[in-house]
Amino acid sequence: MPESPGTVKALGARALAHRLFWPLAALGALLVVNLIATPTFFNVRIQDGHLFGSLVDIVRNGAPVLLVAIGMTLVIATRGIDLSVGAVAAIAGAVACVYIVKSPADGAAGTAVVAVTMALAVCVALGLWNGFLVSVVGIQPIIATLVLMVAGRGIAMLVTGGQITTVNNDTFAALASGHLLTLPVAALIALGVFAATQIVVRRTALGLLIESVGINPEASRLAGVRSRTIIWTVYVFAALCAGTAGLIVAANTHSVNANSLGLWIELDAILAVVIGGTSLAGGRFSLTGTLVGAMLIATLTRTIPNIGIPAEANYLFKALVVVIVCLLQSPKARAVLQRRRDRTPTGPSREEAVV
């Protein structure tokens, strides 16, 4: 099939203009870097009926951030932000672990199920609290969720009694290290939540109403949108996602440390959302973008030790990649790049409208 160079060029331009081009390019570049550093990086093998390999690890280890980021995406789409997700994750882990430890049958599968259910119920309550502060009391989301971000660690400490609680329950541990149909359970949970959210948001009107609240709250109110319910829903959902992430992290280490579980995960999650192209100003959101963003962050975390960057430089390197991706995405930087490419002088435009 001979294709004219024009179409190819147009196709290329369209790919370049796509929202996810740069995040995907960065993800690809990171994978290539890894492949150069470790030629076996892409190798995936099946052992004992389980899939193993670096790529599988990335998805598995990226599961908690992905989960938190999915919830965060919806919150950000309503012009909000949830800083408390790390603390909520810690509380969820603490509740589940303490319940299992205190239970007489601490190794039983049933105990793990009750523990997880209880932890998630607590998360619903925490999400209701955040949603209450934001939608009913009307506190700015960044402040409202800061309350729980700070207090939540304290609550988790109270639950664990300040001790690192270690559990011995195979069912619970399977949340992180188990496999189902050769795939790691943690990854399946995160991808499952992703798919379910995507379907609910796009097949019902939830996505539209979330975006309308985020784009123009006053117009939404006048159009009869129940903004309060919508906002409440997204904060509860974000807390549930955070709680699930906390359970996976706790299951991974068979323990919970109220001080460190989920520490700074809110920042990784917000980064994933932003890299994915959802604006912090609210409005249109992209869950697929968030998925790419979360995978980029997970790959980055994996890359740093793999290419021999000292652990001390870890955060610096991460910051660098994030800045580059965000720069490439910003309309302003794009405009500059575009101008350099075209070299066409543009006249000053007068954008003020007549009032």
Partner 1 sequence: MSQAEVKPPGPVVEMLDVSITFGAVRALDEVSLRLLPGEVHALMGENGAGKSTLIKALTGVYTIDSGRVVIDGVETQFATPAAAQHAGISTVYQEVNLVPNLTVAENMLLGREPRRLGRIDRREMNRRAAASLQALGIDVDPASELGSHPIAVQQLVAIARAVDTDARVLILDEPTSSLDADEVARLFEVMRRLRDHGTAIVFVSHFLDQVFEISDRMTILRNGRVVGERLVEETTQLELVQLMIGRDLQVLERLDHAAHEATEETSAEQRLPVLSAVGLGRKGSLEATDLNLYAGEVVGIAGLLGSGRTELARLLFGADAPDTGDLTVKGSSRRRLRSPRHAIDRKLAFCSEDRKAEGVFGELSVADNMLLGLQASRGWLRPIPAITRSTLVSEFMTALDIRPADPSLPMRSLSGGNQQKVLLARWLITEPDVLLLDEPTRGIDIGAKTQIQQLVADLAEKGMSVVFISAELEEVLRLSHRLVVLKDRRKIAERPNRGIDVNDVLEIITGEPGGLVEKEWADA
**Residues in the site for partner 1, rule: CB under 8 A?**
203-206, 208-209, 211-212, 215-216, 218-226, 230, 283-284, 350, 352-355
Residue 50's region, left for phi above 0, alpha for psi from -120 to 50, else beta, is beta
Query: Distance (Å, rounded) from C-alpha 289 to C-alpha 278?
Result: 8
Query: Distance (Å, rounded) from C-alpha 123 to C-alpha 84?
Result: 11
The token duo for 312 is: 């001390």
DSSP 352: P
First to last CA, the chain: 54
Q: How far is the CB of 78 from partner 1 (least distance, A)?
A: 13
Q: Note whether 148 and 87 are within 8 A (CB).
A: yes
Query: Distance (Å, rounded) from C-alpha 253 to C-alpha 113?
Result: 18
Q: How far is the CB of 224 from partner 1 (least distance, A)?
A: 4
Considering the complex, state which of residue 177 and residue 216 has its C-beta at the smaller distance from partner 1.
216
Q: How far is the CB of 22 from partner 1 (least distance, A)?
A: 20
Considering the complex, state which of residue 212 and residue 252 has its C-beta at the smaller distance from partner 1.
212
DSSP 227-258: HHHHHHHHHHHHHHHHHHHHHHHHHHHTEE-T
Q: How far is the CB of 209 from partner 1 (least distance, A)?
A: 5
Considering the complex, state which of residue 33 and residue 215 has its C-beta at the smaller distance from partner 1.
215
Q: How far is the CB of 223 from partner 1 (least distance, A)?
A: 5
Angle at 266 between CA 159 and CA 245, to 5 degrees: 60
Considering the complex, state which of residue 227 and residue 257 has its C-beta at the smaller distance from partner 1.
227
Considering the complex, state which of residue 109 and residue 199 has its C-beta at the smaller distance from partner 1.
199
Considering the complex, state which of residue 212 and residue 303 has its C-beta at the smaller distance from partner 1.
212
Q: How far is the CB of 332 from partner 1 (least distance, A)?
A: 18
